[in-house]
Structure formats: C-alpha cells, structure tokens
Structure 1
Amino acid sequence: MTPENAPESRWSDLDRPPLNVPALRRALLVPGSLWTSLDVVESTGSTNSDLAQRAASLPEGAVLIAEEQTAGRGRLDRSWTAPARSGLFLSVLLRPGPNVPVRRWGWLTLLTGVAAATGLAKAAGVDMSLKWPNDLLVTVGGEERKTGGILAERAGDDAVVVGMGINVSLRADELPVPTAGSLGLANAISTDRDPLLRAVLRSLEQWYGDWRGAGGDPGASGLQAAYAAGCATLGRTVRAELPGGRSLTGEAVAIDGDGQLVLTAGDGQRHTVGAGDIVHLRPAD
C-alpha cells in the first residue's frame, strides 16, 4: 500500500499524539477525587450529548473526552469543530445538590471558565482571560482571540453536564474563523495535551469543591471575585445582542450575584443581561 492511499493513523501527525489514557487515569482517578471515571473515544459527534444520554447510570465525576469531535455545540447550538487531536474536547458530569440551590447552578459555566483559565495559565504559560459568559480568550499578534468555549446543560433533575472545547495546537491555516486562536498561536510553553488536561481537571475539582462547600455562594467561595478579576468584558463598552433581536449598548461594570452581566447604558440606567451574545466594542481602559 502506498503512502498516498494508506489509511490515516492516529500517529499520522507526530505533533498531535493521542492522549495517554492509562497515565491520565492513574493521575486523576485517585481515592477522594471528584473524578470517578475517565473515558477517551477516537471520535464522536458531541461529548455533551453522549454523556447526557448516560448520565442516569453514572456517578458524579464521570469524564468523557474525544480525540475528535465532529458535531460539537456551543451556545445557541453553534458548531465547534477542529482537527483530530488538536485540542481538548471533553465533558464532565456534576451533581451539585442537595446543598447547592438550583438557582445557583447557573454559576457552573462561569466556574468552569475560571478553572480552565487558571489551570491553562499555569500549565501552558499563556495569559488567559474570560469573555462573559463562556469564552476563553488568548492574545495572538496583539489581538484578542477565542481559544475555548464552555457549555453547561441540565441532564435530568439532579445533574449538569459541562462541556469544554479548547484549541491547543490549531495552526493559523486551520482556524475556522479569523477571530479564533489557540494556545500554540499564543506562544504556549507546551501544547502537550496530557498535562494541560490534568491541570484543567484538577483546577475544576478545586473550584467546584470550594463553591459546593460554600453552598454555591459565589461570594463566600471566592468565585465571583475571581471571575471579575479575569473577565476581559468588564470595564469595556459592549453591545449585548439579546433574544428577540434586541440589542443594548453600554459599559460592562459588574458581574452580579446571579452571574449576570451588569451594563450601564448611555442614559445612566443599569441593566442586567442574563443571556445573549456580547460584542466587545473597545479595549478596556
């Protein structure tokens, strides 16, 4: 068989080796850990959909990772696709109750953002920031670029599946849109996905444990302050594109106790935004 018609091997791109599943399990599935199982599949449509379908039969802390995700979903059912083994595509199963009121579960998206940014900043040596409510940003060539997204979805009455898609080694000619980026393009000190994944999951375990231990209180757990400190949206003029085709322009001034974005409009009125797309109109002062 000639190289031209040989089937693609999982080792065909030496810059993108497969994840070391036994080593990941040894490192993460330890007594007392939040993580109870860790499975890696070669390819799937959506790790969130797959894990949600199995949620009723799984304990909290199940982790599902795909080497390639062909129908990944972001907010508003937007697609998220990338070359095989070029990023971290994973979902985790969490059961916050009964000590955390359901009204506080909305913080899980923001919590995961803080955890991922914290873990990746340490492991990849890249300055990370957060765009409200669910984007991870890096700087590429002096420009802000989206390198990751988070999607939290209810799975039954007592569970939440939180998915992450993070571009790790995506090259410039592989970017799906000009506003996308990757850790590699942001000059990461490492694009080895194994330590990056361990760092993200360990950070998520710590932040989730602190938040749940505080009954989901974002103030007492330090989550609200940490999110505000890392949020690139605050202090900027933004346009909120709201459901129903409405929009609102103002300065993003705070993240309130419910995780909503607080805007001050030109007339001085304050508005809270709980859902919608945010467009950064100018850099922070």
Structure 2
Amino acid sequence: MTPHNPSDDSRWSDLDRPPLNAAALRRGMVREQGLYRGIDVVQQTGSTNSDLVALAVAGKAGEGSVLVAEEQTAGRGRLDRRWTAPPRSGLFFSVLLKPAGVPVDRWGWLPLLTGVAVATGLARAAGVDTALKWPNDLLVTVGGEERKAGGILAERAGEDGVVIGVGINVTLRADELPVPQAGSLVLAGAAGTDRDPLLRSVLRSLEDWYVRWRDAGGDAAASGLQETYTAGCATLGRRVRAELPGGRNLVGEAVALDGDGRLVIATEDGVQEPVGAGDVVHLRPV
C-alpha cells in the first residue's frame, strides 16, 4: 500500500485542474473606466453569493466587485437547490451590480442578461454551443441530449444592489456529475477548458451586455437583449410545465418573452399567461 503523501492534497495535486491566476485576472479585467473594480479568488467558501451580499450590505464592496471560489461547499441554485462540484472543476463566481438609473421593475432582466453573456462568452472561448432554458439554466448537448451545465442566481443586496451568481461545470467527468441530467463543457466537446480565459471571456461579455442594457435605462428591447435572449432560448416553442409558487401547475406552449422577461405560456384552452417565477420543465413532444 502506498503511503499517503500530504502534498497530494495541495492545490497543485490535480494537474488537469490548475488553480486560477488571480493576479492575471485582475490585470486583464480591472481597468480605470471599466465595470470591474476588484477580483478576489478564494480557495473555498460556502457560497460566493452569500459572501458578496454580506460584503455589499456592510458597505465593504462596490459595484463591479467579483468574488470567485475554487470550490463552493454550499452553492445554491434557484429554490435553494444545492450546487456542488469538485475543487477547480468549474467556474463559481458572483458579481455585484448597482444599476443606477434603471427602474427596479426592470431588474428582473439581470439573470436573463447574465445568461446571454455567459452563453456568448463560452461560445467564444470554449467553442461550445450553449442554449438558455428560461429563466436561468445553461444547456449543452451531450450525446444528443440536453444537459444542464450551469445556472444563474440573482439576489438583492441592500436597496441599490443585485448580486449575480454563476456556476458552470467545466471539466466534470461523467462519474462526477451530481445528477445524470447534468453536463459539463468537457462532456459537450469544448475546444478549450482552461478556466482563466473562460472566466475572462464571460466577464467581458457580461460587462458589454450590462453596460448596453444599463445605458438603455434597462429597456430590454432597445438594448437588443430581448431579441438576443429569445434567439438563444431553448424553452420557446416547446411544450412546458411551469410549477408555480403555491403548488399550481401550468402546461402549454412557451410562445414568447414579454417586456418584463416573463415567459408567456399558451394553454390548451387558448389562454396566454405570463409566468414570472417558477420551475419550468421541458416536456417531450406528444
């Protein structure tokens, strides 16, 4: 039996998963006139969203603060679902945004905007085709099947802030997937899985879309966001079941996104109902 070497537990032990280079990320992303004010990388935390919300509420983080974790032990998706993955196997980060000048009723577009930004950034840097499942899942194709490879969670941070959290499975192998329906960029045949350029590409894309949307006063149509999200949304045109708050289910065809980013579902009795919150299941064609 080979004796255990404590050095095997070091951050260099998995050569397929090198650590992020925080100094290089800051050099590449933090600019005088840019959105990002600082990028911090921690080895492990419960949830980057929880940490950044707490810093924002305490006045210790400003707009454009980015917190990245090599490992999250209590990462959360929507509806407080757990999100866990091996260390350095993905990108787990949160960004603090303060959309001054944008009416609060338009802030619901921020998770959708982030989805567009992540999909665009990954297409450029990883060469992998991604689709968006409303409202905030990132889908890739693995063996001809749609799989969830990432998710987005938006949380209010005080009166004037929103923390956007992103989790993306990058190098998870089939035996490491948390559930069979999950996927990763490597399983989807990504051309590149080096997390440094992936993260830079996603952050640049997020800055581009956020500034465009913010400068349009949060108008999703004028900024091109509504059209771009619609084009990349795998939910539209599908038969879906929306599991709504309060235990009600709504089944029908997802036909459009309205001006508030809500999913419009046409039911079999001819009613079109906008859904602003809930879990949406893609149903197989009858």
* Residue correspondence of structure 1 range 66-77 to structure 2 within 5 A: 66-77=69-80
Deviation at 1:2, TM superposition (A): 3.6
Measure the CA separation in 2 of the matches of 1:283 and 1:195: 38
Deviation at 1:3, TM superposition (A): 3.5
Deviation at 1:282, TM superposition (A): 2.4
Corresponding residue number in structure 2 for 1:255 = 257
Contact 2:264 2:275 in 1 (8 A): yes
Corresponding residue number in structure 2 for 1:112 = 114
Q: Secondary structure at the match of 1:105?
A: helix
Measure the CA separation in 1 of the matches of 2:157 and 2:6: 43
Measure the CA separation in 2 of the matches of 1:162 and 1:262: 24
Q: Secondary structure at the match of 2:71?
A: strand
Deviation at 1:57, TM superposition (A): 2.1
Measure the CA separation in 2 of the matches of 1:217 and 1:171: 40
Contact 2:7 2:13 in 1 (8 A): no
Measure the CA separation in 2 of the matches of 1:268 and 1:177: 36
| Counterpart pick for 1:194 among 189, 193, 196 | 196
Q: Match of 1:281, as an amino acid?
A: L
**Structure 2, unpaired ranges of 5+:** none
Measure the CA separation in 2 of the matches of 1:176 and 1:234: 27
Measure the CA separation in 2 of the matches of 1:224 and 1:136: 17
Q: Secondary structure at the match of 2:167?
A: strand
Q: Match of 1:62, as an amino acid?
A: S
Q: Secondary structure at the match of 1:130?
A: strand
Q: Secondary structure at the match of 1:195?
A: helix
Structure 1's consecutive aligned runs of 4 or more residues displaced over 2 angstroms after TM superposition are: 1-7
What is the aligned length? Answer: 283
Corresponding residue number in structure 2 for 1:90 = 93
Tell whether 2:280 aligns with 1:278: yes
| Counterpart pick for 1:163 among 144, 162, 165 | 165
TM-score (ref. length: structure 2): 0.97
Deviation at 1:59, TM superposition (A): 1.6
Contact 2:93 2:166 in 1 (8 A): yes
Structural RMSD (CA)? 1.3
Please give the per-residue CA displacement for 1:127-186, whole angstroms capped at 9, x wherever unaligned.
Answer: 010000000000000000000000000000000000000000000000000110000000
**Structure 1, unpaired ranges of 5+:** none
Measure the CA separation in 1 of the matches of 2:141 and 2:285: 13
Corresponding residue number in structure 1 for 2:13 = 12
Measure the CA separation in 2 of the matches of 1:211 and 1:66: 27
Measure the CA separation in 1 of the matches of 2:239 and 2:86: 34
